[in-house]
Amino acid sequence: MEIEGTALTHGGKFHADDVFAAALLKIINPQLKIKRVFEVPEGFNGLAFDIGRGKFDHHQENSDVRENGVPYAAFGLLWRELGESVMQKGCSPKDVAKETKHFDEHFIQPLDEDDNTGCGNQLAGVISSFNPLWDSERSADECFAEAEKFAEMILRKKFESIFSAQRAKSLVESALAGVKDNIVILPRFAPWKSVLIPSSAEFVVYPSQRGGYNAQVVPMGFNTDEAKCNFPQEWAGMDGEGLEKTSGIRTLHFCHKARFLVAAENQEDAVEACRTAMRIAGQQQRGN
């Protein structure tokens, strides 16, 4: 599908639906002109969205609804058509469809649902606040352009985050190939959950931005904070000499009160903290 020339959307008050749809189109083609109208001119054969009863409008009877029951709005209709081409720019071929679907489910669907039902959505409310106030002398078109730039920044940041996570996968997969004792050691921090949660890894160790090394537990699944193996209860919330004495690990100097993360001055002690945690957990299981 070619995105060029001028695209039309409705004038007057705007919503997150048409604003984010415009932002998506501008990301795909920064030269595209977005024109706001109250009626699509007869004979217009360009792209129209959220107006005109066409492919990318959703106000007509029997408009499209997702399998899960969430109705499409213009943003979702455009994403259904263009999403994979966006994701192809930064995702591996095997992940394009999955990431396209994930973005629809977690970012677009709540906005589409709000536009269709008025159910309420915080981001949609933020976009709505860009509309001119009742006593403002600013035009709706001027405010729309401002809102579109804001939405475009959000989308770019979201896409950059997805593509960054994709780049991290190869680094984490390489580290996982050398896993020892269910402890994965990363050469630098990188998003690791998508790779390590489904694996046998129980802990991940990486250089800390504050200096030294962190060790972190790997959750049991994507929708839970339950760890495959927690750091010991007696370490919870401790730091400094008290933690060193309790753990017997010389440079271990911090354990989060929730027991999902510890910090040490060197990699060896961060790894030793993980081994100690597994050993204590094993002893407790055998004691039960």
Q: What's the pTM?
A: 0.81
At 2 the pLDDT is 78
At 170 the pLDDT is 87
pLDDT tens across the length of the chain (288 residues): 778 899 999 999 999 999 999 999 999 999 999 999 999 999 999 999 999 999 999 999 999 999 999 999 999 999 999 999 999 999 999 999 999 999 999 999 999 999 999 999 999 999 999 999 999 999 999 999 999 999 999 999 999 999 999 999 989 999 999 999 999 999 999 999 999 999 999 999 999 999 999 999 999 999 999 999 999 999 999 999 999 999 999 999 999 999 999 999 999 999 999 999 999 999 887 766
Spatial CB neighbours of 10, under 8 Å, sequence gap ≥ 6: 18, 36, 37, 38, 50, 51
CB < 8 Å & 24+ apart, contacts of 79-87: 79/24, 79/103, 79/104, 79/108, 80/104, 81/1, 81/55, 81/56, 82/1, 82/3, 82/24, 82/28, 85/28, 86/24, 86/27, 86/28, 86/159, 87/162
Spatial CB neighbours of 243, under 8 Å, sequence gap ≥ 6: 235, 252, 253, 254, 255
Distance CA 79, CA 173 (A): 30
Distance CA 14, CA 147 (A): 9
At 284 the pLDDT is 84
At 288 the pLDDT is 61
Map out the domains of the chain as residue ranges: 6-168, 178-287
